[in-house]
C-alpha cells in the first residue's frame, strides 16, 4: 500500500487485510509494554490544517507505539498562517526526510494533491479532508462492528448482512462517506437517515438506502446505529429550524434509545454533542461503542502506518519499482 487516501477505492480484500493487521496490532496493545520496534528510524509527520483532538492523538500514539519518530505540525502558529502554500510545506517536509505524512485539511482532495503532486516521496494518509473522506475513521468503525459481531473470531471476515443506520448530517460528513464505501465493500447494508436538507444531491449514486424518518429506521432494528455530529463549522446557511427541533426529530433521545432493539450497538465518531444528536443515556450505556472506537482507532492506524512503511516497502522494493 503506497497511500491511504479514501475507502472508495478499497476492495473487500484490501479492507479485510487492514482490519486483520489491526487485530494483530490490538493483540499487542493488551501487553504491559505496548511498544514495537517495527518503524524504528522512520519519521511520521502529522500535518493538521484543521482542529482535531482524538484523530491527531490517535495517529501520534499509533506511530510512537511502532517506534517511529513523530513530528506534529499544526497550521496554527506555523508559516501556513503566514500564507505558505501546501507545496512549500510539503517540500519542507520532504527535505526533513518524512517517510509518511498524515494530513487533515479543510479542502476536499488536499491529500490526493499531496500524494500525486511529486512534491514528496512520503506515503500519504488522509486524516479527514473537507467533506470528502476520513478513511481511518471508517476502518476503525468497521473494526469495532466486526469485533462486536464476531469477537475473537473476527479475522478474515467481512460484514455481510450487517445492517447499519447512519443518522444526521450526512451532507457535511466525511465519516458518512467513508463508511458508506467501506461498509458496502464489506457487504454491510447501509441506511442513511437525515432531514432532506442534510442529504447530498448525488446520494442516489451511493450504495445506500435513504430514509427521512428516524423512528422508522429504529423500528427496523439495525445492528448498529451511528449518530453523526452536526457540522456547524461547515454550514453557511440554516439547514434545520433550531437545535431543539433537530434533537426532537433526529436525535437519539431517551425514548428512541429505549425503542432500539436489544442488541443494536450505538456508535459515534466524536466529538459528541450530548443532548443534541445523542442523549447521555445512550452515550454512556454498555451498548455504546464510543470508547471502543477510540481504542480501535490506535490499532487501525498502527496497521495503516505499518502497511505503508513496513509492509510492501520492506526488503528489496525500491522507490522506482513502486
Binding interface with ligand NCD (CB under 6 A): 54-55, 128, 134, 137, 174-175, 229, 269-270
* Minimal distance, residue 175 CB to ligand NCD, in Å: 5
Interaxial angle between packed helices 290-306 and 54-65, expressed in degrees from 0 to 180 and rounded to the nearest 10: 50
Residue 66 vs 175, nearer CB to ligand NCD = 175
Q: 50 φ, ψ to 5°?
A: -125, 155
Q: Which is nearer to ligand NCD, 163 or 229 (CB)?
A: 229
The cell for 252 is 437519539
Question: Shortest Cβ contact with ligand NCD: which residue?
Answer: 229
What angle is formed at CA 165 by the lines to CA 196 and CA 179, rounded to 5 degrees? Answer: 95
Instruction: Tell me how far, at minimum, the Cβ of 136 lies from ligand NCD, in Å.
Output: 8
For residues 229 and 299, give the distance between their C-alpha atoms in angstroms, rounded to a whole number: 23
Q: In this complex, which beta carbon is closest to ligand NCD, that of residue 134 or of residue 146?
A: 134
Shortest Cβ distance from residue 211 to ligand NCD (Å)?
21
User: Could you tell me the smallest distance in angstroms from the CB atom of residue 312 to ligand NCD?
Assistant: 27
Q: List all residues 6 or more positions away from 59 whose beta carbon is below 8 Å from its beta carbon.
A: 44, 46, 102, 125, 127, 136, 301, 305
Within 10 angstroms of residue 274's Cβ, the number of other Cβ atoms is 14
CA-to-CA distance for 144 and 164, rounded, in angstroms?
13
Rounded to a whole number of angstroms, the minimum distance from the CB of residue 54 to ligand NCD is 5
**Alpha-carbon 32 to chain mean position:** 27
- Using the minimum distance from each CB to ligand NCD, give the nearer residue, 39 or 176: 176
Nearer to ligand NCD (CB atom), residue 42 or residue 105: 105
Residue 181 beta carbon to ligand NCD: minimum distance, rounded to whole angstroms: 15
Nearer to ligand NCD, 256 or 301 (CB): 301
Amino acid at each position: 500500500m503506497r497511500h491511504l487516501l479514501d475507502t472508495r477505492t478499497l476492495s473487500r480484500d484490501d479492507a479485510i487485510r487492514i482490519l486483520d493487521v489491526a487485530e494483530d496490532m490490538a493483540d499487542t496493545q493488551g501487553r504491559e509494554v505496548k511498544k514495537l520496534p517495527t518503524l524504528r528510524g522512520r519519521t511520521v509527520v502529522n500535518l493538521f490544517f484543521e482542529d482535531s483532538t482524538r484523530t491527531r492523538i490517535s495517529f501520534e500514539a499509533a506511530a510512537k507505539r511502532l517506534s517511529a519518530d513523530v513530528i506534529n505540525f499544526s497550521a496554527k502558529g506555523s508559516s501556513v498562517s503566514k500564507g505558505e502554500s501546501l507545496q512549500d510545506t510539503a517540500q519542507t517536509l520532504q527535505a526533513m526526510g518524512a517517510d509518511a505524512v498524515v494530513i487533515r485539511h479543510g479542502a476536499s482532495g488536499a491529500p490526493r494533491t499531496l500524494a500525486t503532486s511529486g512534491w514528496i516521496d512520503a506515503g500519504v494518509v488522509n486524516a479527514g479532508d473537507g467533506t470528502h473522506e476520513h478513511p481511518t475513521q471508517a476502518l476503525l468503525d468497521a473494526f469495532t462492528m466486526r469485533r462486536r459481531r464476531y469477537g475473537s473470531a473476527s479475522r478474515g471476515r467481512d460484514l455481510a448482512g450487517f445492517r447499519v443506520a447512519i443518522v444526521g448530517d450526512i451532507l457535511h460528513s466525511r465519516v458518512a462517506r467513508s463508511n458508506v464505501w467501506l461498509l458496502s465493500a464489506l457487504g454491510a447494508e447501509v441506511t442513511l437517515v437525515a432531514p432532506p436538507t442534510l442529504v447530498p444531491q448525488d446520494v442516489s449514486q451511493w450504495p445506500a438506502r435513504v430514509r427521512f424518518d428516524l423512528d422508522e429506521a429504529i423500528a427496523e432494528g439495525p445492528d448498529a446505529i451511528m449518530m453523526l455530529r452536526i457540522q456547524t463549522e461547515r454550514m453557511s446557511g440554516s439547514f434545520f429550524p433550531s437545535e431543539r427541533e433537530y434533537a426532537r426529530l433526529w436525535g437519539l433521545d431517551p425514548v428512541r434509545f429505549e425503542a432500539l432493539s436489544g442488541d443494536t450497538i450505538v456508535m459515534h465518531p466524536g466529538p459528541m454533542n450530548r443532548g443534541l444528536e445523542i442523549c447521555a443515556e445512550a452515550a454512556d450505556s454498555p451498548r455504546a461503542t464510543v470508547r471502543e472506537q477510540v481504542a480501535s482507532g490506535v490499532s487501525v492506524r498502527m496497521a495503516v502506518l505499518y502497511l505503508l512503511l513496513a509492509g510492501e516497502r520492506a526488503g528489496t522494493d525500491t522507490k522506482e519499482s513502486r
